[in-house]
Structure 1
Amino acid sequence: MRLISLRLQNFRQHADTRLDFDRGLTGIVGPNGSGKSTVLEAIAWALYGNPAARGTRDGIRFSRAGPRAPVKVELVFELAGHRYRVLRGLSNAEVYLDAGEAPIANTITGATELLQRRLGMTRAEFFHTYFTGQKELDVMAALGAAERARFLSRVLGYDRITGAQEFARERRRAVLAEINGLKQGMADPDAIWRAVADAEARLAVA
Protein backbone atom coordinates (compact mmCIF):
# COMPACT_ATOMS: atom_id res chain seq x y z
CA MET A 1 0.00 0.00 0.00
CA ARG A 2 1.39 3.42 -0.99
CA LEU A 3 -0.27 6.64 0.09
CA ILE A 4 -0.88 9.22 -2.65
CA SER A 5 -2.86 12.02 -1.02
CA LEU A 6 -5.05 12.87 1.96
CA ARG A 7 -7.58 15.65 2.46
CA LEU A 8 -9.28 16.46 5.76
CA GLN A 9 -12.32 18.72 6.01
CA ASN A 10 -13.61 19.68 9.46
CA PHE A 11 -11.82 16.67 10.93
CA ARG A 12 -10.53 17.31 14.47
CA GLN A 13 -8.10 20.28 14.30
CA HIS A 14 -8.16 20.43 10.49
CA ALA A 15 -10.68 22.77 8.86
CA ASP A 16 -9.37 22.02 5.37
CA THR A 17 -5.99 20.34 4.96
CA ARG A 18 -4.52 18.52 1.97
CA LEU A 19 -1.35 16.42 1.97
CA ASP A 20 0.42 14.88 -1.02
CA PHE A 21 2.80 12.02 -0.24
CA ASP A 22 6.01 11.48 -2.21
CA ARG A 23 7.77 8.14 -2.43
CA GLY A 24 9.98 7.30 0.52
CA LEU A 25 9.66 8.41 4.13
CA THR A 26 7.31 11.18 5.22
CA GLY A 27 7.88 13.14 8.43
CA ILE A 28 5.09 15.09 10.15
CA VAL A 29 6.37 17.77 12.55
CA GLY A 30 4.63 20.40 14.63
CA PRO A 31 3.86 21.47 18.20
CA ASN A 32 1.63 19.50 20.54
CA GLY A 33 -2.03 19.76 19.60
CA SER A 34 -1.35 20.85 16.02
CA GLY A 35 -2.91 17.71 14.55
CA LYS A 36 0.01 15.40 13.77
CA SER A 37 -1.63 12.31 15.21
CA THR A 38 -4.90 13.37 13.62
CA VAL A 39 -3.38 12.89 10.16
CA LEU A 40 -2.67 9.24 11.00
CA GLU A 41 -6.07 8.86 12.63
CA ALA A 42 -7.75 10.22 9.49
CA ILE A 43 -6.04 7.57 7.34
CA ALA A 44 -7.30 4.81 9.63
CA TRP A 45 -10.77 6.42 9.78
CA ALA A 46 -10.98 6.54 5.98
CA LEU A 47 -10.18 2.83 5.81
CA TYR A 48 -12.10 1.44 8.78
CA GLY A 49 -14.66 4.07 9.78
CA ASN A 50 -15.72 5.26 13.22
CA PRO A 51 -14.28 2.30 15.21
CA ALA A 52 -10.81 3.51 14.15
CA ALA A 53 -11.32 7.00 15.62
CA ARG A 54 -10.52 8.13 19.14
CA GLY A 55 -13.39 9.04 21.40
CA THR A 56 -16.94 9.41 20.19
CA ARG A 57 -18.32 10.05 16.73
CA ASP A 58 -19.44 13.56 17.72
CA GLY A 59 -15.91 14.49 18.78
CA ILE A 60 -14.58 14.11 15.24
CA ARG A 61 -16.12 17.38 13.98
CA PHE A 62 -13.88 20.47 13.93
CA SER A 63 -14.80 22.49 17.03
CA ARG A 64 -15.34 25.75 15.11
CA ALA A 65 -17.33 24.17 12.28
CA GLY A 66 -21.05 24.72 12.03
CA PRO A 67 -23.43 21.90 12.97
CA ARG A 68 -24.23 21.28 9.31
CA ALA A 69 -20.68 21.62 8.01
CA PRO A 70 -19.58 18.39 6.29
CA VAL A 71 -16.96 16.22 7.96
CA LYS A 72 -15.03 14.42 5.25
CA VAL A 73 -11.77 12.60 4.64
CA GLU A 74 -10.56 11.76 1.14
CA LEU A 75 -7.75 9.21 0.92
CA VAL A 76 -6.03 8.11 -2.30
CA PHE A 77 -3.65 5.16 -2.28
CA GLU A 78 -2.20 2.49 -4.54
CA LEU A 79 -2.43 -1.21 -3.81
CA ALA A 80 -1.57 -4.23 -6.00
CA GLY A 81 -1.37 -2.18 -9.18
CA HIS A 82 -4.66 -0.31 -8.62
CA ARG A 83 -5.50 3.16 -7.34
CA TYR A 84 -8.22 3.57 -4.74
CA ARG A 85 -10.00 6.79 -3.77
CA VAL A 86 -11.92 6.66 -0.50
CA LEU A 87 -14.42 9.33 0.53
CA ARG A 88 -15.76 8.98 4.06
CA GLY A 89 -18.06 11.20 6.09
CA LEU A 90 -19.89 10.78 9.36
CA SER A 91 -22.87 9.11 7.66
CA ASN A 92 -21.59 8.03 4.24
CA ALA A 93 -18.66 6.37 2.50
CA GLU A 94 -17.65 5.65 -1.09
CA VAL A 95 -14.76 3.78 -2.70
CA TYR A 96 -13.64 4.36 -6.30
CA LEU A 97 -11.29 2.11 -8.24
CA ASP A 98 -8.75 3.52 -10.70
CA ALA A 99 -10.46 6.09 -12.96
CA GLY A 100 -13.96 4.70 -12.49
CA GLU A 101 -16.77 7.23 -12.17
CA ALA A 102 -19.10 4.87 -10.28
CA PRO A 103 -18.13 3.73 -6.78
CA ILE A 104 -17.41 0.05 -6.20
CA ALA A 105 -18.82 0.49 -2.66
CA ASN A 106 -21.20 3.23 -1.54
CA THR A 107 -22.23 2.48 2.04
CA ILE A 108 -20.35 2.78 5.31
CA THR A 109 -20.42 -0.97 5.95
CA GLY A 110 -19.81 -1.88 2.31
CA ALA A 111 -16.79 0.43 2.00
CA THR A 112 -15.24 -0.81 5.24
CA GLU A 113 -15.71 -4.48 4.35
CA LEU A 114 -14.35 -4.02 0.83
CA LEU A 115 -11.24 -2.17 2.03
CA GLN A 116 -10.64 -4.75 4.74
CA ARG A 117 -10.72 -7.52 2.13
CA ARG A 118 -8.44 -5.67 -0.27
CA LEU A 119 -5.94 -4.79 2.47
CA GLY A 120 -6.10 -8.33 3.80
CA MET A 121 -6.29 -7.35 7.46
CA THR A 122 -8.82 -6.38 10.08
CA ARG A 123 -8.80 -3.04 11.88
CA ALA A 124 -7.10 -4.65 14.91
CA GLU A 125 -4.41 -6.19 12.72
CA PHE A 126 -3.86 -2.87 10.93
CA PHE A 127 -3.37 -1.09 14.26
CA HIS A 128 -0.93 -3.74 15.46
CA THR A 129 1.35 -3.63 12.40
CA TYR A 130 1.41 -0.78 9.89
CA PHE A 131 -0.30 1.66 12.23
CA THR A 132 0.95 1.23 15.76
CA GLY A 133 2.60 3.02 18.62
CA GLN A 134 5.77 1.84 20.26
CA LYS A 135 3.99 0.56 23.35
CA GLU A 136 1.45 -1.34 21.24
CA LEU A 137 4.22 -3.46 19.71
CA ASP A 138 4.04 -5.54 22.88
CA VAL A 139 1.06 -7.29 21.28
CA MET A 140 3.40 -8.87 18.72
CA ALA A 141 5.88 -9.83 21.43
CA ALA A 142 3.12 -11.62 23.34
CA LEU A 143 2.40 -13.94 20.41
CA GLY A 144 4.10 -17.31 20.22
CA ALA A 145 6.62 -17.97 17.46
CA ALA A 146 4.17 -20.00 15.36
CA GLU A 147 1.32 -17.47 15.82
CA ARG A 148 3.62 -14.56 14.96
CA ALA A 149 4.86 -16.35 11.83
CA ARG A 150 1.31 -17.08 10.65
CA PHE A 151 0.19 -13.51 11.30
CA LEU A 152 3.14 -11.90 9.50
CA SER A 153 2.77 -14.36 6.63
CA ARG A 154 -0.82 -13.24 6.14
CA VAL A 155 0.02 -9.54 6.50
CA LEU A 156 2.85 -9.78 3.92
CA GLY A 157 0.80 -11.90 1.54
CA TYR A 158 2.91 -15.04 1.85
CA ASP A 159 -0.20 -17.05 2.72
CA ARG A 160 -1.30 -16.70 -0.91
CA ILE A 161 1.81 -18.59 -2.02
CA THR A 162 1.15 -21.25 0.59
CA GLY A 163 -2.44 -21.50 -0.59
CA ALA A 164 -1.34 -21.92 -4.21
CA GLN A 165 1.14 -24.62 -3.22
CA GLU A 166 -1.53 -26.51 -1.31
CA PHE A 167 -3.91 -26.22 -4.26
CA ALA A 168 -1.21 -27.62 -6.58
CA ARG A 169 -0.58 -30.52 -4.19
CA GLU A 170 -4.31 -31.33 -3.98
CA ARG A 171 -4.61 -31.18 -7.78
CA ARG A 172 -1.62 -33.50 -8.16
CA ARG A 173 -3.15 -36.01 -5.73
CA ALA A 174 -6.45 -35.90 -7.62
CA VAL A 175 -4.75 -36.46 -11.01
CA LEU A 176 -2.70 -39.37 -9.65
CA ALA A 177 -5.84 -40.94 -8.17
CA GLU A 178 -7.60 -40.58 -11.54
CA ILE A 179 -4.65 -42.19 -13.37
CA ASN A 180 -4.58 -45.10 -10.93
CA GLY A 181 -8.30 -45.59 -11.36
CA LEU A 182 -7.93 -45.73 -15.14
CA LYS A 183 -5.06 -48.21 -14.83
CA GLN A 184 -7.10 -50.48 -12.59
CA GLY A 185 -9.96 -50.48 -15.09
CA MET A 186 -7.73 -51.50 -17.99
CA ALA A 187 -7.15 -55.12 -19.01
CA ASP A 188 -3.75 -56.78 -18.77
CA PRO A 189 -1.54 -55.45 -21.67
CA ASP A 190 -0.18 -58.93 -22.49
CA ALA A 191 -3.67 -60.34 -22.73
CA ILE A 192 -4.67 -57.53 -25.08
CA TRP A 193 -1.69 -58.15 -27.36
CA ARG A 194 -2.42 -61.92 -27.42
CA ALA A 195 -6.02 -61.19 -28.40
CA VAL A 196 -4.87 -58.81 -31.15
CA ALA A 197 -2.43 -61.43 -32.52
CA ASP A 198 -5.12 -64.13 -32.41
CA ALA A 199 -7.57 -61.86 -34.25
CA GLU A 200 -4.97 -61.04 -36.93
CA ALA A 201 -4.22 -64.77 -37.39
CA ARG A 202 -7.92 -65.59 -37.82
CA LEU A 203 -8.27 -62.67 -40.25
CA ALA A 204 -5.38 -64.00 -42.32
CA VAL A 205 -6.93 -67.50 -42.44
CA ALA A 206 -10.26 -66.03 -43.44
Structure 2
Amino acid sequence: MLLPVFVIVTVGLSGGHLADGVMPCLILVGSAGGAAALWWVLRDWTITDLGLQSPGRRGLRLLWEVPLTLATALTVTAIVGQILGLGSAATTASRESVGPPAAALMLLTCYLVLGPVVEEILVRRMTMPWAEAVLLRMFHSRRGAAVGAVLLSSLVFAALHVVAPVMLWTFFLGIGCAVLTRVHRSLWGGLALHVTVNVIAGAALLPTLAG
Protein backbone atom coordinates (compact mmCIF):
# COMPACT_ATOMS: atom_id res chain seq x y z
CA MET A 1 0.00 0.00 0.00
CA LEU A 2 0.99 3.59 -0.53
CA LEU A 3 2.10 5.07 2.83
CA PRO A 4 2.45 8.83 2.81
CA VAL A 5 5.11 10.54 4.86
CA PHE A 6 2.99 11.07 7.94
CA VAL A 7 2.22 7.35 8.15
CA ILE A 8 5.89 6.44 7.83
CA VAL A 9 6.85 8.96 10.50
CA THR A 10 4.11 7.74 12.84
CA VAL A 11 5.16 4.13 12.48
CA GLY A 12 8.82 5.05 12.85
CA LEU A 13 8.26 7.07 16.03
CA SER A 14 6.16 4.29 17.53
CA GLY A 15 8.89 1.74 16.92
CA GLY A 16 6.25 -0.40 15.22
CA HIS A 17 4.28 -0.80 18.47
CA LEU A 18 0.83 0.49 17.60
CA ALA A 19 -2.46 -0.45 19.22
CA ASP A 20 -4.56 -3.06 17.42
CA GLY A 21 -6.59 -1.48 14.65
CA VAL A 22 -4.43 1.66 14.42
CA MET A 23 -2.25 0.50 11.53
CA PRO A 24 -5.22 -0.35 9.26
CA CYS A 25 -6.65 3.11 9.92
CA LEU A 26 -3.32 4.72 9.05
CA ILE A 27 -3.13 2.69 5.86
CA LEU A 28 -6.69 3.61 4.87
CA VAL A 29 -6.19 7.31 5.54
CA GLY A 30 -2.74 7.35 3.97
CA SER A 31 -3.87 5.49 0.85
CA ALA A 32 -6.95 7.65 0.33
CA GLY A 33 -4.99 10.85 0.98
CA GLY A 34 -2.17 9.81 -1.32
CA ALA A 35 -4.62 8.86 -4.08
CA ALA A 36 -6.49 12.16 -3.74
CA ALA A 37 -3.27 14.17 -3.88
CA LEU A 38 -2.01 12.24 -6.90
CA TRP A 39 -5.34 12.66 -8.69
CA TRP A 40 -5.21 16.42 -8.11
CA VAL A 41 -1.72 16.64 -9.60
CA LEU A 42 -2.51 14.40 -12.57
CA ARG A 43 -6.17 15.29 -13.13
CA ASP A 44 -5.50 16.61 -16.65
CA TRP A 45 -3.49 13.57 -17.79
CA THR A 46 -4.95 11.21 -20.37
CA ILE A 47 -4.90 7.42 -20.14
CA THR A 48 -1.84 7.42 -22.40
CA ASP A 49 -0.13 10.05 -20.26
CA LEU A 50 -0.65 7.80 -17.24
CA GLY A 51 0.98 4.90 -19.11
CA LEU A 52 -2.21 2.82 -19.12
CA GLN A 53 -2.37 2.35 -22.88
CA SER A 54 -3.19 -1.16 -24.06
CA PRO A 55 -0.16 -3.44 -24.52
CA GLY A 56 -1.94 -5.06 -27.45
CA ARG A 57 -1.55 -8.75 -28.27
CA ARG A 58 1.76 -8.71 -26.46
CA GLY A 59 -0.27 -8.43 -23.25
CA LEU A 60 -1.25 -12.09 -23.56
CA ARG A 61 2.33 -12.95 -22.65
CA LEU A 62 1.57 -11.69 -19.14
CA LEU A 63 -0.31 -14.93 -18.55
CA TRP A 64 3.04 -16.69 -18.17
CA GLU A 65 5.31 -13.72 -17.48
CA VAL A 66 3.52 -12.74 -14.26
CA PRO A 67 3.77 -16.20 -12.60
CA LEU A 68 7.38 -16.56 -13.73
CA THR A 69 8.36 -13.11 -12.46
CA LEU A 70 6.54 -13.70 -9.17
CA ALA A 71 8.27 -17.03 -8.62
CA THR A 72 11.65 -15.46 -9.41
CA ALA A 73 11.08 -12.54 -7.03
CA LEU A 74 9.99 -14.90 -4.24
CA THR A 75 13.01 -17.15 -4.74
CA VAL A 76 15.53 -14.29 -4.79
CA THR A 77 13.88 -12.69 -1.74
CA ALA A 78 14.08 -15.96 0.20
CA ILE A 79 17.76 -16.44 -0.67
CA VAL A 80 18.81 -12.87 0.13
CA GLY A 81 16.62 -12.79 3.25
CA GLN A 82 18.30 -15.95 4.50
CA ILE A 83 21.73 -14.47 3.87
CA LEU A 84 20.81 -11.22 5.67
CA GLY A 85 19.05 -13.03 8.50
CA LEU A 86 15.71 -11.37 7.88
CA GLY A 87 12.50 -13.14 8.80
CA SER A 88 9.63 -13.85 6.45
CA ALA A 89 7.55 -10.93 5.27
CA ALA A 90 4.42 -13.03 5.56
CA THR A 91 2.11 -12.22 8.43
CA THR A 92 -1.21 -13.56 9.58
CA ALA A 93 -3.90 -10.98 10.07
CA SER A 94 -6.10 -11.30 13.13
CA ARG A 95 -9.58 -9.87 13.61
CA GLU A 96 -8.24 -7.59 16.36
CA SER A 97 -5.33 -6.23 14.31
CA VAL A 98 -7.43 -5.59 11.22
CA GLY A 99 -10.44 -4.19 13.02
CA PRO A 100 -14.19 -4.75 12.45
CA PRO A 101 -15.40 -6.37 9.22
CA ALA A 102 -16.32 -3.02 7.66
CA ALA A 103 -12.81 -1.69 8.25
CA ALA A 104 -11.32 -4.94 6.96
CA LEU A 105 -13.42 -4.66 3.79
CA MET A 106 -12.25 -1.08 3.18
CA LEU A 107 -8.66 -2.12 3.87
CA LEU A 108 -8.97 -5.00 1.43
CA THR A 109 -10.42 -2.70 -1.24
CA CYS A 110 -7.54 -0.25 -0.83
CA TYR A 111 -5.06 -3.10 -0.89
CA LEU A 112 -6.42 -4.75 -4.02
CA VAL A 113 -7.44 -1.72 -6.08
CA LEU A 114 -6.32 1.68 -4.83
CA GLY A 115 -2.81 0.81 -3.66
CA PRO A 116 -1.54 -0.92 -6.82
CA VAL A 117 -2.87 1.75 -9.18
CA VAL A 118 -1.49 4.67 -7.14
CA GLU A 119 1.86 3.01 -6.55
CA GLU A 120 2.35 2.01 -10.16
CA ILE A 121 1.61 5.53 -11.36
CA LEU A 122 3.83 7.10 -8.71
CA VAL A 123 6.76 4.69 -8.97
CA ARG A 124 6.76 3.13 -12.43
CA ARG A 125 5.16 5.97 -14.42
CA MET A 126 6.66 9.01 -12.67
CA THR A 127 9.76 8.03 -10.69
CA MET A 128 11.29 5.55 -13.15
CA PRO A 129 11.25 7.79 -16.28
CA TRP A 130 12.51 10.74 -14.24
CA ALA A 131 15.39 8.68 -12.82
CA GLU A 132 16.24 7.36 -16.28
CA ALA A 133 16.38 10.89 -17.73
CA VAL A 134 18.66 12.10 -14.92
CA LEU A 135 21.00 9.10 -15.19
CA LEU A 136 21.16 9.44 -18.97
CA ARG A 137 22.29 13.06 -18.65
CA MET A 138 24.89 12.06 -16.07
CA PHE A 139 26.39 8.96 -17.68
CA HIS A 140 25.33 9.14 -21.36
CA SER A 141 24.51 5.43 -21.42
CA ARG A 142 20.97 4.40 -22.34
CA ARG A 143 21.38 0.86 -21.06
CA GLY A 144 22.99 2.01 -17.82
CA ALA A 145 20.31 4.66 -17.33
CA ALA A 146 17.55 2.09 -17.88
CA VAL A 147 19.04 -0.38 -15.39
CA GLY A 148 19.71 2.35 -12.86
CA ALA A 149 16.14 3.66 -13.18
CA VAL A 150 14.72 0.18 -12.57
CA LEU A 151 16.83 -0.20 -9.42
CA LEU A 152 16.21 3.30 -8.09
CA SER A 153 12.45 3.10 -8.64
CA SER A 154 12.44 -0.28 -6.90
CA LEU A 155 14.24 1.25 -3.92
CA VAL A 156 11.56 3.94 -3.74
CA PHE A 157 8.87 1.26 -3.95
CA ALA A 158 10.53 -0.70 -1.13
CA ALA A 159 10.92 2.42 1.05
CA LEU A 160 7.14 2.93 0.93
CA HIS A 161 6.62 -0.34 2.79
CA VAL A 162 8.51 0.52 6.01
CA VAL A 163 9.14 -2.94 7.54
CA ALA A 164 12.55 -4.47 6.71
CA PRO A 165 11.47 -7.96 5.50
CA VAL A 166 8.63 -6.40 3.51
CA MET A 167 11.01 -3.83 2.05
CA LEU A 168 13.32 -6.60 0.87
CA TRP A 169 10.45 -8.44 -0.80
CA THR A 170 8.98 -5.30 -2.38
CA PHE A 171 12.39 -4.29 -3.74
CA PHE A 172 12.62 -7.47 -5.81
CA LEU A 173 8.90 -7.31 -6.60
CA GLY A 174 9.47 -3.73 -7.76
CA ILE A 175 12.21 -4.87 -10.12
CA GLY A 176 9.78 -7.38 -11.62
CA CYS A 177 7.07 -4.74 -12.02
CA ALA A 178 9.54 -2.32 -13.59
CA VAL A 179 10.82 -4.90 -16.07
CA LEU A 180 7.30 -5.89 -17.14
CA THR A 181 6.34 -2.24 -17.53
CA ARG A 182 9.36 -1.60 -19.75
CA VAL A 183 8.94 -4.78 -21.80
CA HIS A 184 5.29 -4.05 -22.54
CA ARG A 185 5.75 -0.28 -22.74
CA SER A 186 2.61 0.01 -20.65
CA LEU A 187 1.83 0.34 -16.96
CA TRP A 188 -0.46 -2.66 -17.34
CA GLY A 189 2.62 -4.91 -17.27
CA GLY A 190 3.69 -3.95 -13.76
CA LEU A 191 0.11 -3.50 -12.61
CA ALA A 192 -0.77 -7.08 -13.57
CA LEU A 193 2.02 -8.43 -11.37
CA HIS A 194 1.28 -5.98 -8.55
CA VAL A 195 -2.43 -6.81 -8.42
CA THR A 196 -1.73 -10.55 -8.60
CA VAL A 197 0.58 -10.33 -5.58
CA ASN A 198 -1.92 -8.24 -3.62
CA VAL A 199 -4.77 -10.62 -4.43
CA ILE A 200 -2.74 -13.54 -3.09
CA ALA A 201 -1.67 -11.65 0.03
CA GLY A 202 -5.12 -10.14 0.53
CA ALA A 203 -6.60 -13.62 0.83
CA ALA A 204 -5.24 -13.59 4.40
CA LEU A 205 -7.92 -11.00 5.27
CA LEU A 206 -10.82 -13.12 4.08
CA PRO A 207 -11.21 -15.05 7.38
CA THR A 208 -11.57 -11.74 9.24
CA LEU A 209 -14.34 -10.65 6.87
CA ALA A 210 -16.20 -13.92 7.43
CA GLY A 211 -15.72 -13.71 11.20
Q: Judge same fold: TM > 0.5, yes or no.
A: no
Computing the radius of gyration from Cα coordinates, the structure with the larger value is: 1
Select the structure that is richer in strand.
1
The structure showing larger relative contact order (alpha-carbon pairs under 8 Å, at least 6 residues apart) is 2
Select the structure that is richer in helix.
2
